[in-house]
A and B are shown apart, each in its own frame.
Chain A
Amino acid sequence: MSAGSALLGKDLREHGGALAGIVLASAALVLLALAQNRQAAYGISPFEVVRFALITFLPLICLVVGNRLVVREYLAGTRQFVEALPVGTLWPLLLKYLVGYAFVALLGAMVVGICALGATLADDPSPEYLGLLLARTLVVLLLYWGVVFCFSLCGHLRVMLYLVTLGVVLALSFLPGVDATRFAPFALLDREFFVFERDLVPWREMGWTAVLGAAFALAGFIVARLGNGSVAERLARPMSRRDYVLTGVLLAGGVALTGALAEKRTRDPVRLTGEAVLREAQPDVEVYYGAERHRPAAERFLQAVLRATEPLETRLDLESMPALRLVLRPDRDAHDIDYGTLDGVYVAANWLEHDGYDDAVLVAVVLHGVLTARTGGRAPFEPYHWVLDGFTRWWAETAGEPDALVEAHRAELLARALFIARRLSDDQGLVGNWQGIAEAHGYPGAEALATSAMVYLQERQGVPAIMALAREFLSAPLGSSVLASIRDRRRTPQARFAEATGLDFEAFMQDWRVWLGASAAEPAVAMLLAAVPPLSPVVQANRQQGVPVITAGLVEVPDEGVLDGDGRSGPASECVLRHDLLAPFASEWEVEDEDERRAECRADPALYTLDGVYASGDRALLAVELESEAFHQPLRLGAARVDVP
């Protein structure tokens, strides 16, 4: 048996039990997180658990391992015993470094492995993707272990060093103007990219993080050898009273600094500058209209927004309204809307040609932003996203007044909703997999479906039930803490729905579907539905002479109507194929319209051909939409994802 294996055997014998316990506890924790994720009201990607592990318990485990492997050896003085054995001076320490990293790396690999086993098809855990996740994890752990290894050799100073490091990390995270997610090592743990980025390997960030980790490890070895080990030996003593006082001062200073920085982080919203801006102080709204000739349209839209937002603040007991910044973009299409919710709500759109229906669409987007910002981003969560979509549109149309919904708007909304409802099976339900529905039928369709639920709820229980539902899901700021998240996920949306409306969720869903079906008899609704051809898109992808070719078209849906001999129904209408490259995990339903293909709506499985547009290995989303005078917005006949061979 060599000296190396003797040292390794000693460490395993000394720490094996504890390390095995850590492995089991970590595995249990990961399984618990995955199980909780599976049973929660709404799920996240299982690989989010890897990120969760990396920012919560894996650093703590590194601390425990460092404490056992290094700190104890120095504090107990047993290092001196090993030092006198016939073995190289740095070899025992190097072995400890390697053993420690091997352990935390194995733990990280185990966490990734368990999450991969718990992943669903939607997560698509290809070997390349798993490799990328594993590499990120191992590099981050290399840094953690490097820091812990170095600080562990600093004896009683290590607590202070950890506190200072924590302070620096917090400062970088909270300091205004510093976007820590842009540089290593923070970029590797970025919430947006950790799970969802799979095409780009962050070589630079991984490289810098590895270099940082190696630098800390090297610093540790230098500390260990300073003064022939006498420095590390002198530092290896319990903390004195003076050390405790200093640590307390550091801690208090850190807390005060964090508080101050966190306060500074709440920045004032950006102000729109120039002459061509309408301003409203309460609520804080600014509308940029660019040219004087657009001022009337801007004033009209501002009034529409104020009519919707002012009563909303009162009726939903909102403590404050976020700042609204609305920008007129005359160069855009009527329904091409951009919006964001950073330090307020920003909307850019073209409302010059809008009628009341289009205005309501845009106001609903503004309200969507208001409630999303107000709830700290919780309002659009999958299980109750339909409530947000339905309520905002309903409120944009009615401002909470019982009889304010314009009949024509109601008919168009119900027609759209009914078209979708007919295509959703009873098993699917009308609001399950809401993002899937929105992707398959377009956002306007999903919004109309959700709005029809509000119209039915109003008819059945009155406006107060809708307001109670909105208060339950859309106005309570739960906070961004882990506890708030757990509280939010503990109660099912079904139970919360029943509590707010007094109706059983499943029964409501059935009754709503029946009510919606019955609305087909209304003449205005029937007329609109008659304008929709009974067609559904089909997509095929293959290779022709080595080039990927996607063929898309339309096929008849017999239950919805009858086609003539040429595969047409009713008056001529235009069907547009819109398509876009689909990123992994992408669930957005919007597709670019820059490369759209137009054709007359008719049953033809090869209506459109995309020859060499996508490369082999790409995933694409293709949607066919009806553009008709009868509807304000395109009506999506269907959409499909395709893997390009």
Chain B
Amino acid sequence: MVDSDSPGSSATAPSVIELVDVRKRFGRTTVLDGLSLQVRRGEVFGFLGRNGAGKSTAIRVLMGIVPADDGQVRLFGQPLGRGVVAARRRIGYVAQEQNMYPWMTPRVLGRFVRGFYPRWDETRWRRLNEAFGLPMKRRLGTFSGGMKAKLALALALSTCPELLILDEPTAGMDPVARREFLDLVREQTARDGATTFFSTHLIDEIEAIADRIAIVENGRAMYQGPLAPLAERTAGYSIARGDDVPGGMPLGPDAQVLRVLGDMPRLGRRQVVLQFADAASREVTPLHGWRREPLSLEDVFIAMVGSDRAGAGDGRGRLRVPHGAHGARSGGTRPA
């Protein structure tokens, strides 16, 4: 795993979530394969990964819904064990699917849920429902997906949580509802200052709000750190098939290449995505035949998870790290 902290991040703040080498199997399927990550108090943490990468299982482990087979899980500085109920009282949780009782109205739902949370804020609950435009006397069975997600957010925020966990809350929403929902999250998290753990497979959802992110693939964190350096220290290059030399790279040995994030054929050209140890290396002129390609964060994400998937198949390791460069500065790197 690559861990990159920006100098400005609150690296000394206490951890709210800490997963160390967490493993989870369901039968023969390994879902979490040594997942390690750390979320600090007050930050908005983006938990990025493709569908089936292990995000929801990681959250279920975090919530104490399923126990980890191995590894350490710490919430609010305490090991998650017998104190799971007490820990959950401090967490506001918005699930991927809103399995709320369809016969309930928001009013009844609030009455039900407040029994579980000593810090329940009834005024806030009403205010949020009003602000989100949710009818208090309508049955939830008649709510749209977006309305249910807003309701779940209102519910989670009304518990006055120290940690807000959002598990792909916008899945299945149309673009308008998604944007509306994300705005609400942005507003509320900014207002409360609560630690937010936002799981998604859409990088643009967290691009604007996340202080740090973790990219998870095959049950492991591929990257953990701020989002900006990931974009700043990454560049894409391509070369025509005919000009390509097997094993050839776009930059000379002087460039501080941390690792190759992606190396794949695309539109008749070979495409390579490189991550650098510093932003300056990005400016090095590519070798003859290679050309610089514009790269979005999504391209970086695809390159990262794509390279991992390609490597996973042949069993030869996941990342090629040229020039002897290595990346892990904290959290450690598992040998491929």
Contact = CB atoms under 8 A, between A and B. Distances in A.
Interface in A187-241: 227-230
B86 A80 contact: no
Contacts of B111: 9
Interface string B81-105: 0000111110101010111111100
Nearest to A77: B99
Interface string B155-173: 0000000000000000000
26 contacts: A1-B114, A6-B115, A10-B101, A10-B112, A14-B101, A14-B103, A76-B99, A76-B102, A78-B99, A78-B100, A80-B95, A81-B98, A83-B65, A84-B93, A85-B116, A86-B87, A86-B88, A86-B91, A87-B85, A227-B26, A227-B27, A228-B65, A228-B67, A229-B66, A230-B26, A230-B66
Contact of A228 (B66, B98, B108): B66
Contact of A88 (B27, B66, B85): B85
Nearest to B102: A76
Contacts of A77: 97, 99
Contacts of B102: 76
A267 interface: no
B48 interface: no
B210 interface: no
A87 B113 CA distance: 11
A86 B86 contact: yes
Contacts of B95: 80-81, 84
A76 B102 CA distance: 9
Contact of B115 (A3, A83, A84): A3
Contacts of B89: 86
A6 B88 contact: no
Contacts of B85: 86-88
A9 B66 contact: no
B115 A1 contact: yes
B117 interface: yes
Among A85, A86, A230, residue most surrounded by chain B Cβ atoms (within 10 Å): A86
A5 interface: yes
Given A84-B63, A228-B65, 13 more contacts: A5-B115, A6-B115, A7-B115, A10-B112, A77-B97, A81-B98, A81-B99, A85-B116, A87-B116, A88-B85, A227-B26, A228-B66, A229-B66
Contacts of B108: 13
Contact of A78 (B88, B93, B101): B101
B122 to A, nearest CB: 12
Given A3-B116, A9-B115, A84 B65 contact: yes
A87 B91 CA distance: 13
Interface residue SS majority, chain A:
helix
A2 interface: yes
A165 B53 CA distance: 42
Interface string A1-43: 1110111011001100000000000000000000000000000
A225 to B, nearest CB: 11
Contacts of A84: 63, 65, 88, 93, 95
Nearest to A3: B116
A86 B97 contact: no
Nearest to B63: A84
A72 to B, nearest CB: 10
The 6 closest A-B pairs by CB, nearest first: A6-B115, A86-B88, A77-B99, A1-B115, A228-B66, A86-B89
A83 B87 CA distance: 14
A15 to B, nearest CB: 10
Interface of A: 1-3, 5-7, 9-10, 13-14, 76-81, 83-89, 227-230
B254 to A, nearest CB: 52
Contacts of B116: 3, 6, 85-87
Contacts of A10: 101, 112
Contacts of B98: 81
A1 B118 CA distance: 9
Contacts of B115: 1-3, 5-7, 9
A85 B26 CA distance: 23
Contacts of B117: 86
A235 to B, nearest CB: 15
Contacts of B63: 84
Contacts of B67: 228
B298 to A, nearest CB: 30
Contacts of A228: 65-67
Given A6-B116, A86-B116, A87-B116, A81 B103 contact: no
Contacts of B93: 84
A1 B89 CA distance: 14
Nearest to B95: A84
Contacts of A87: 85, 116
Nearest to A81: B99
Nearest to B86: A86
Contacts of B86: 86
B172 to A, nearest CB: 15
Contacts of A9: 111-112, 115
A19 to B, nearest CB: 15
Among A77, A81, A87, A229, residue most surrounded by chain B Cβ atoms (within 10 Å): A81
Nearest to B94: A84
A562 B185 CA distance: 110
A143 B115 CA distance: 32
B112 A6 contact: yes
Nearest to B93: A84
A88 B83 CA distance: 10
A52 B317 CA distance: 71
Nearest to B100: A81
Nearest to B117: A86
Contacts of A85: 88, 113, 116
Nearest to A4: B115
Contacts of A79: 99
A88 B86 CA distance: 10
Nearest to A228: B66
Contact of A80 (B91, B97, B112, B113): B97
A5 B114 CA distance: 11
B225 to A, nearest CB: 29
B95 to A, nearest CB: 6
Nearest to A91: B85
A68 B65 CA distance: 24
B99 A80 contact: yes
A230 to B, nearest CB: 6
A432 B103 CA distance: 59
A7 B98 CA distance: 18
A230 B24 CA distance: 13
A7 B114 CA distance: 11
A1 B115 CA distance: 5
A275 to B, nearest CB: 73
Nearest to A14: B103
Contacts of A13: 108
Contacts of B27: 227
A238 B77 CA distance: 42
B137 to A, nearest CB: 15
Interface in B196-230: none
Nearest to A2: B115
Contacts of A78: 99-101
B159 to A, nearest CB: 9
Interface string B22-36: 000011000000000
Interface string B242-278: 0000000000000000000000000000000000000
Among A10, A14, A77, residue most surrounded by chain B Cβ atoms (within 10 Å): A10
A10 B113 CA distance: 10
A78 B101 CA distance: 6
Among B103, B108, B116, residue most surrounded by chain A Cβ atoms (within 10 Å): B116
Contacts of A227: 26-27
Contacts of B91: 86
A89 B88 CA distance: 12
A173 B301 CA distance: 67
B105 to A, nearest CB: 11
A5 B115 CA distance: 8
Contacts of B88: 84-86
